Amino acid sequence: MEDKILNTELLINKLLEEEEEFHHVNNPAADIKPVIKKYLGVPNHAEQLGNKIYFTDGDAKVEVVVVTDEIIRVRLAPHGVFLEEFSYAVPKLVHKDASFILLENESEFIVSSRVVNCHIRKKDFFISFSDKKNHVTSADAVPMHWEENVKFGGYYVFCTKVCEPEESFFGLGDKPTELNLRGKRLKNWNTDAYSFAWNQDPLYRSIPFYISLNEDIAHGIFFDNTFKAQFDFGAEDKTKTSFWADGGELQYYYIHGPHMMDVVKSYHILTGTHPMPPLWALGYHQCRWSYYPEAKVRKITKGFRENKIPCDGIYLDIDYMDGYRCFTWNRKYFPDPKKMISELAADGFKTVVIIDPGIRVDDNYSVFKEGKKNRYFCRRSDDYFMEGHVWPGRCQFPDFTNPEVRTWWGGLFDELVEMGVAGVWNDMNEPAVFGAGTFPDDVRHQYDGFRGSHRKAHNVYGMQMVRATYEGLRTIMKNKRPFTITRAGYSGVQRFSSVWTGDNVASWEHLQLGNIQCQRLSVSGIPFCGTDIGGFSGEPDGELFTRWIQMGTFSPFMRAHSAGDTKEREPWSFGEPYTAINRKFIELRYRLIPYLYSTFWEHHRYGFPILRPVVMQEQDVLMNHFRQDEFTYGDKILICPVMQPGQTSRKVYLPKGKWYNFWTNEMVDGGQEVTVPTPLETIPIFVKAGSVIPEYPVMQYVGEKEIEEVKLNIYYSDYEANSFLFEDYGETFAYEQDIYLEKKFVVNGDSKKLTIQQSMEGLYTPRYEGYHFTLLGLPFKPGKIVADGKEITDFTTSKEKITEFKFSKNFKNIEIFK
């Protein structure tokens, strides 16, 4: 026993001694450096591992990957450890047979693909890119840098590049500001921005992709980082362009042009394109918060048919639900939804219903019960449920970043599809929470196994919601194409949905803003976009509404929508002359559906945007970097909306080449501004010489009648021009098995002759037999027409010099002689 006490004493003494010793040691905390921004040092080493090349300054590491000949990805690991590779935007990092070499000279390492060189300067780790003519397109102004984030872990990450004196910037999604972003600082953080204003930032979507244009060479930067991020295009310092984020990796893709179009196409190689929409979705959609009860819905749809105004989509906003509980029906307002939907469908209307992410906390509500039982709802850091108020009251929110939750969510659409619902509208998915704005930062997300807080998941929440919706619908609808529309999104959202620009205002300023926003979304990889025609809040007068319908006719997505406290807002609500003009434009929308559908195919298959700002047509003209009114719809039709009240004429810039005024068929030389009359009945529309514009007969809805012939409007040109026509079933995924027809037309003419050639690819056979040819702008009166060796005698030429005739849809070569 005594021994034991002795031993204990010894032990205590020993410990005390040790403690003393400890006190003699310098305080380890004194060695910890204060948190400051750190910059890459001097790269002392380059190492190639497979297709990745690593550079290090001894501590930090930089990885360079040649993704394609035009795309190079750069990543930074402040202490040498990269995060596991995962991206919602880039589902698969393609390496399209990208070969490269690693070179070294005295001053730099160079990773060189067949198109781009990535230079890593030995002196200071500056990274720059050049083309094969050694033209530097992008250069660091300071080395990549970071700052430790003590509160959350990880780093704030920064990249700063040189901003050249005449450099212009485009992209970044739905920012409500000038098209050229030069001189702006903008933030990405998805935000419910009711009645947003010019320059308000951020809005609903985060698209961290921009296009730079300098000295006629374009390149893109895609900063694939989902955290709150900012971009500064020479705002703070006009010689610098910076982008940075509150966390995640400093990871960006340099995308080489040299043309803006090349950049957009390559961006789509990374993030994917929009699937082919159901053909009906290219028609006109009518929405309102809300059409209810059933009698009101029927009155509206009947109104379209009685007024002979085409319409395909009819929307049910939140009031169709029982207490705003998603996947339920208010049976008082809609006693038999299946019957209503099927009767609407028989009259050509496709019903689209809204579904929000907030699930009402209610133990008698099956969706809530299932979600709760399976732990599908988001939780706070201390394990409390994330609760917030939205339309239904107190709600919890599915964690759409969890694949199991997405599958569950997708399955919930079973009953709606069974009832005949054709499309789903996902709203409030920034996510929006009344009062608080959105979720607090500490909410946890499964993030497909790469767990994170809401700081990381916020900007992808909406995209993952609409992904769950789209994938669910796709499974349930089998081979039928679903239609989806979302308010929030992140890069890549185009693989799952169309978008609208959110809660705009019935003002002329918002008409201008909407025009810019749709063009910007288009160059940011989101082709299927539109505005709330007429403005969501406030009251448009007849003139504003008509001007908006005219612009909306040329938005890839065309929907009128309005808030609940506004007056009736259908295309006939303003009386004449507005109704007739609205009808004429909506009819024009339907006539041009085969053209729009073909441009959609060009997007889906080749990554072209549907709307193209003038700068994309002619990027070498500096003035075009600042034009934001006119745009082309596909590459053949130039539109310039009228965006001022009482405007009777306006200036329109036409890119070089020859153009036809759509209304008068008069030919005009491009490369100049022209003054065009703009009575309320028209807006400036020009068609490029050499175009073949396919046209369907006007119908009250897509598929109302069998198409007996397709009209081909051929605009004479004295140079060779190509046009395309895409056809398929319009509602299935058979196109993925090559069941489609891609037709190419080549038009060429001189002073005595015009030739039209057609070639085809694909396995689809349309049911109509022939084309109705309409030749416009011929500089001679046709004397003889020969089609595939046979003379056509049955043609007419009007006093307006329009020649018309019919021939087989399978023609190969048609010659029109003086």
Which one is catalytic: 430, 570, 630, 742? 430
> Where do we find the tokens 């590459």?
635
Q: Which of residues 687-746 bind ligand GLC (CB under 6 A)?
A: none
How far apart are CB 274 and ligand GLC at their closest, in Å? 21
Annotation says 201 is catalytic: no
Q: Does 169 bind ligand GLC (CB under 6 A)?
A: no
Instruction: Give the residue with the Cβ less far from ligand GLC, 289 or 686.
Output: 289
* Length of the chain as a residue count: 818
Annotation says 503 is catalytic: yes
Minimal CB distance residue for ligand GLC? 289
Q: How far apart are CA 496 and CA 460, in angstroms?
A: 13
**Binding characters for ligand GLC, 351-370, by CB under 6 A (x = yes):** ---x----------------
Q: How far apart are CA 551 and CA 586, in angstroms?
A: 11
Instruction: Give the residue with the Cβ less far from ligand GLC, 427 or 727.
Output: 427
Q: Quick check: 728 and 736 in contact, CB under 8 A?
A: no
The amino acid occupying position 803 is T
Element (H, E) at 64: strand 61-66
Instruction: Give the residue with the Cβ less far from ligand GLC, 212 or 497.
Output: 497
**Binding characters for ligand GLC, 529-568, by CB under 6 A (x = yes):** --------------------------------x-------
Instruction: Give the residue with the Cβ less far from ligand GLC, 561 or 743.
Output: 561
> Quick one: which of 399, 503, 602, 742 contacts ligand GLC (CB under 6 A)?
503
How far apart are CB 425 and ligand GLC at their closest, in Å? 8
Secondary structure (3-state) at 34: coil
Instruction: Give the residue with the Cβ less far from ligand GLC, 317 or 728.
Output: 317
Annotation says 18 is catalytic: no
Q: Which of residues 309-328 bind ligand GLC (CB under 6 A)?
A: 317-318
Q: Does 427 bind ligand GLC (CB under 6 A)?
A: yes
Which one is catalytic: 427, 471, 587, 635? 427
How far apart are CB 532 and ligand GLC at their closest, in Å? 7
Which one is catalytic: 164, 201, 471, 503? 503
How far apart are CB 562 and ligand GLC at their closest, in Å? 8
Q: How many residues bind ligand GLC (CB under 6 A)?
A: 9
Residue whose C-alpha is closest to residue 274's, from 463, 471, 495: 495
How far apart are CB 191 and ligand GLC at their closest, in Å? 12
Calculate the alpha carbon distances from 40 to 52, 85, 124, 211, 668 in Å.
19, 22, 8, 26, 56
How far apart are CB 537 and ligand GLC at their closest, in Å? 9
Instruction: Give the residue with the Cβ less far from ligand GLC, 529 or 725.
Output: 529
> Quick one: which of 289, 368, 376, 413 contacts ligand GLC (CB under 6 A)?
289
> Quick one: which of 275, 502, 556, 694 contacts ligand GLC (CB under 6 A)?
502
Q: Are strands 209-214 and 61-66 parallel, antiparallel or unpaired?
A: unpaired
How far apart are CB 392 and ligand GLC at their closest, in Å? 11
Q: Are strands 250-256 and 71-77 parallel, antiparallel or unpaired?
A: antiparallel
Q: How far apart are CA 217 and CA 222, in angstroms?
A: 17
Q: Does 596 bind ligand GLC (CB under 6 A)?
A: no
> Where do we find the tokens 């990549």?
144
Q: Which of residues 473-492 bind ligand GLC (CB under 6 A)?
A: 487
Cis before 290? omega within 30:
yes
Neighbour order of strands in the sheet with 359-360: 359-360, 393-396, 388-390
Q: Which of residues 96-155 bind ligand GLC (CB under 6 A)?
A: none
CA torsion 169-173-178-183 (nearest 10°) is: -40
How far apart are CB 503 and ligand GLC at their closest, in Å? 5
How far apart are CB 193 and ligand GLC at their closest, in Å? 9
Chain centroid to CA 569: how far? 27
Instruction: Give the residue with the Cβ less far from ligand GLC, 129 or 333.
Output: 333
Residue whose C-alpha is closest to residue 771's, from 812, 730, 799: 812
Q: How far apart are CA 677 and CA 681, in angstroms?
A: 10
The amino acid occupying position 487 is R
Q: Quick check: 629 and 623 in contact, CB under 8 A?
A: no
Neighbour order of strands in the sheet with 637-639: 611-613, 631-633, 637-639, 685-688, 658-661, 667-669
Instruction: Give the residue with the Cβ less far from ligand GLC, 247 or 502.
Output: 502
Q: What is the DSSP string of 605-674?
A: HH---SEEEHHHH-TT-GGGGG--S-EEETTTEEE----STT--EEEEEE-SSEEEETTT--EEESSEEE
Instruction: Give the residue with the Cβ less far from ligand GLC, 116 or 560.
Output: 560
Per-residue 3-state assignment (H helix, E strand, C coil) for 516-542? HHHHHHHHCCCCCEECEECCCECCCCH
Q: Quick check: 640 and 630 in contact, CB under 8 A?
A: yes
Tell me which residues are annotated as active site: 427, 430, 503
Binding site residues, ligand GLC, CB under 6 A? 289, 317-318, 354, 427, 487, 502-503, 561
